[in-house]
Amino acid sequence: MADYTVEFVGTGETIEVSDKQTLLQACLEEGIAQEYSCRVGMCLACSAKILEGEVEQSVAEARALTSAEAEEYALTCMARPQSDLVLDRGKYPPSIENAGVDADGAVADDD
């Protein structure tokens, strides 16, 4: 088991996350206000953009993300760190518009 440092840009939050733990589990335990809904890799509500590092999220890739999206976005309810990470929470992959999810207020501005 390895622990990795996960930094969230724009908030100054940094947590340690085991490679056996999902990013969402760690956020909830640490009191970080990560959005989520289904917790099973279907709704994309828990998405974060991966600015640095790698995650294991084969279930998310099978369920909701394209292969290309899975390299840029982590579904935090499914993703486990494979390295130290820098994440931007509240950033959503393009396929959210095709997932039947109401994007009003959910799609963050890229600025």
Burial class for 2, CB neighbours closer than 10 Å (0-12, 13-18, 19+):
exposed
**CB-nearer residue toward ligand FES: 15 or 74:** 74
Picking from 108, 67, 68, 110, the residue whose alpha carbon sits closest to that of residue 90 is 108
75 binds ligand FES (CB under 6 A): yes
Site for ligand FES in 4-63 (CB under 6 A): 36-39, 41-46
**Residue 99 C-beta: closest distance to ligand FES, Å:** 9
**Smaller CB separation from ligand FES, 98 or 111:** 98
- The Cα–Cα gap between 53 and 22 comes to 15
- Positions in the binding site for ligand FES (CB under 6 A): 36-39, 41-46, 75, 77
